């Protein structure tokens, strides 16, 4: 009888202590997760750069902003339209309006060049729309060192660009394999949103293979809910192993800020473009001389095939 009473006593104590133990275990798991994010920040941030560009444009084509505004890049209109806070309708064109200096900004990261390529320089990957038409490109590292960079090559169709500097300031980031990325994985975005240097945000992979977004000619975006804002363009999207798996490029937004839908170019695609830009200064693509269209259920029925079995070759180009 005493053994039964003692057993019941310990059982009651265990039932009382169990919620507290579970709570402690949950908190400890969160601590481990937060330390993982902190580790990513320490490893990646030194190789992420803040990019500032200067260009000359006609006054009639410039969107008007207040002094010192971080939105001084009319390329934001490409993604947000005139509804973006701070945008004003452009002035009506007038003859021979003077040119004005325009400041823009974005992000980038030190890119790892494989052996056999021109590997004596320090290369930085960013978006083409960040450095397009730039007269001067200035990059700033987390340690405060600044350099004037020059454009090595750019590809507007994929929105990938490579710039170079003459100094080895930080190690190149390790590249992951974006084809192995799974929906639901943790990812970390690092960049300079609104000019706030080296900002880290965390989220998950929301979807893969996003196309027909209407941003680039070649689209195969990673979608993420990690906060991406103006100024993040060109910065790395990394996994918990501190490997770059994408380059942050654009957001879908009605407000001008993050609404949980951001897009990154998969690093496997960006790497193919970057290596050609470094090696040749341009991108050479093969061209398949046909025009194809989707095989709709109606077309599939008319051809006597199952929907989704193939595509319809609508036109063949001569030669």
Q: Just list the catalytic residues.
A: 129, 159, 233
- Write the DSSP string, 302-317: HHT--TTS-EEEEEE-
Nearest one of 296, 258, 283, 264 to 107, comparing CA atoms:
264
Paired tokens of 61: 């084509």
Find the length of the chain: 319
d(CA 221, CA 27) in angstroms, rounded, equals: 34
Which residue intervals of the chain are DSSP H helices?
A: 2-44, 76-80, 128-131, 267-280, 297-303
* Strand locations in 211-266 (E): 221-224, 236-238, 244-251, 262-266
**Cβ–Cβ under 8 Å, residues 126 and 106:** yes
Number of H helices, E strands in the chain: 5, 14
């Amino acid at each position: 009888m005493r053994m039964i009473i003692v057993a019941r006593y310990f059982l009651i104590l265990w039932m009382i202590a169990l919620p507290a133990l579970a709570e402690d275990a949950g908190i400890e798991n969160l601590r481990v997760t937060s330390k993982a994010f902190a580790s990513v920040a320490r490893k990646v941030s030194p190789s992420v750069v803040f990019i500032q560009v200067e260009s000359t444009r006609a006054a009639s084509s410039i969107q008007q902003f207040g002094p010192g505004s971080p939105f001084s890049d009319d390329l934001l209109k490409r993604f947000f339209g005139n509804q973006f806070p701070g945008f004003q309708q452009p002035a009506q064109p007038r003859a021979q309006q003077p040119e004005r200096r325009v400041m823009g900004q974005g992000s980038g990261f030190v890119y790892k060049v494989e052996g056999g390529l021109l590997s004596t320089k320090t290369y930085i990957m960013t978006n083409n729309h960040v450095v397009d038409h730039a007269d001067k490109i200035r990059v700033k590292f987390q340690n405060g060192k600044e350099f004037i960079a020059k454009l090595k090559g750019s590809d507007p169709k994929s929105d990938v660009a490579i710039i170079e500097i003459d100094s080895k300031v930080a190690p190149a980031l390790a590249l992951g394999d974006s084809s192995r990325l799974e929906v639901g994985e943790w990812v970390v975005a690092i960049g300079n949103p609104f000019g706030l240097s080296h900002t880290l945000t965390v989220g998950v992979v929301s979807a893969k293979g996003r196309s027909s977004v209407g941003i680039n000619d070649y689209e195969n975006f990673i979608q993420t809910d990690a906060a991406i804002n103006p100024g993040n363009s060109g910065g790395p999207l990394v996994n918990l192993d501190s490997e770059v798996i994408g380059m942050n490029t654009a957001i879908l937004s009605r407000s001008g800020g993050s609404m949980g839908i951001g897009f990154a170019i998969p690093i496997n695609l960006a790497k193919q473009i970057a290596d050609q830009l470094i090696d040749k200064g341009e991108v050479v693509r093969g061209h398949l001389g046909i025009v194809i269209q989707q095989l709709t259920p109606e077309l599939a029925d008319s051809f006597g095939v199952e929907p989704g079995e193939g595509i319809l070759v609508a036109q063949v180009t001569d030669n």
